[in-house]
Amino acid sequence: MNAGIIGIGRCVPDRILTNTELEKMVDTTDEWVRTRTGIEERRIAGEDQNTSDLGFEAAKKAIEDSGITPEQIDLILVATVTPDQPFPSVACMLQERLGAKKAAAMDVSAACAGFMYGVVTAKQFIETGSYSYVLVVGVEKLSKITDWTDRNTAVLFGDGAGAVVMGPVSDGKGILSFELGSDGSGGKYLYQDEFIAMNGREVFKFAVRQMGESSLNVIEKAGLTKEDVDFLIPHQANIRIMEAARQRLELPVEKMSQTVSKYGNTSAASIPISLVEEVEAGKIKDNDLIVMVGFGGGLTWGAIALRWGK
């Protein structure tokens, strides 16, 4: 039994925070932010809008898109580092709000690589026949753990949610290969104390190396070559890191998702948000080979080679 994506949905807050507005908040400039990160604006959730609210909207759309009912969902996995509260989990909140009465539910904490971990976990349950349908949500309200006086991190992050319903798909479709990894010795380079703290130089070096390597690894594991890749969806952290991964795969610019300019780094939400945008824009078509790759605090990373379609 092959596990694949059968429904997608996303939700981003209405409020847009531009680089020009940030110039009034921290010592930075629009040009500096654009040239170093590729970010032009990001979305910021309202005070009354929680992580679970964003996740619920994205999940509702994904379930609708999948054609199944909430009652058919066996498991809910929510990748987040910004839950409404330590417990109950965001996944349990969604289980109740969605009416997914028989679903087990838990949160997954792997920072920006969390969605990859969630998708790979879902794959195991589906392919062993234990569960038929798994809802995977990547959602963050990073604005609540961002230090808006720190010029190094305030410009980077945004809020949002992306969700997929995973289930059995036809032969040759779905997840062909994956790679997950971690290096706890790098935890000191990206962590949360009260706010997000980051050693930008070290994270950049790690990400450039790991994104390219992991992408090539999953292509090889799937028995394919770089030439077979139709589309790359990298974690939307920094355009220079993304470009390095694209160049390793020797892909033309139009074959890489680039939503970082609109949403900034939304951590676990960035890959599913990008996936939804590209499918809706018609850039991802049935039978396309997609590589999704992310990295995050931990340090963690994950990559998936996926044949699109049901």
**113-171 pLDDT, tens per residue?**
999 999 999 999 999 999 999 999 999 999 999 999 999 999 999 999 999 999 999 99
**Catalytic residue (one of 11, 19, 112, 238):** 112
Q: According to the model, what pLDDT value does residue 275 have?
A: 98
Evaluate if residue 48 carries a pLDDT over 90.
yes
Evaluate if residue 7 carries a pLDDT over 90.
yes
- CATH, range 2-169: 3.40.47.10
Q: According to the model, what pLDDT value does residue 1 have?
A: 87
Whether the Cβ atoms of residue 307 and residue 4 lie closer than 8 Å to each other: yes
What is the band of 235 on the pLDDT scale with cuts at 50, 70, 90?
very high
Segment 53-77 shows an average pLDDT of 98
178-212 pLDDT, tens digit each: 999 999 999 999 999 999 999 999 999 999 999 99
Strand-strand pairing, 104-108 and 16-18:
unpaired
Evaluate if residue 273 carries a pLDDT over 90.
yes
Evaluate if residue 60 carries a pLDDT over 90.
yes
At 192 the three-state DSSP class reads: strand
Q: According to the model, what pLDDT value does residue 124 have?
A: 98
**Catalytic residue (one of 11, 19, 235, 238):** 235
Evaluate if residue 23 carries a pLDDT over 90.
yes
Sequence length of the chain is 310
Residue ranges covered by each domain of the chain: 2-169, 174-307
Segment 260-285 shows an average pLDDT of 98
Q: According to the model, what pLDDT value does residue 5 have?
A: 98
Strand-strand pairing, 41-43 and 16-18:
antiparallel
What is the band of 240 on the pLDDT scale with cuts at 50, 70, 90?
very high
Segment 249-272 shows an average pLDDT of 98
Q: According to the model, what pLDDT value does residue 29 have?
A: 95
Give the separation between CA 28 and CA 32, rounded to whole angstroms: 7
On the question of a common fold for 2-169 and 174-307, the answer reads yes
Q: How does 118-134 read in b/e, with b if 16+ C-beta sit within 10 Å? A: bbbbbbebbeeeebbbb
What is the band of 63 on the pLDDT scale with cuts at 50, 70, 90?
very high
Evaluate if residue 260 carries a pLDDT over 90.
yes
pTM over cut 0.75: yes
Closest CA to 141 of 67, 46, 56: 46
Share of the chain above pLDDT 70, in %: 100
What is the band of 245 on the pLDDT scale with cuts at 50, 70, 90?
very high
Evaluate if residue 274 carries a pLDDT over 90.
yes
Pick the CATH number of 174-307 from 3.30.590.20, 3.40.47.10, 3.30.540.10, 3.40.50.300: 3.40.47.10
What is the band of 68 on the pLDDT scale with cuts at 50, 70, 90?
very high
Say whether 92 is catalytic: no
**Catalytic residue (one of 19, 50, 238, 265):** 265
Share of the chain above pLDDT 90, in %: 99
The mean predicted confidence, pLDDT, of the chain is 97
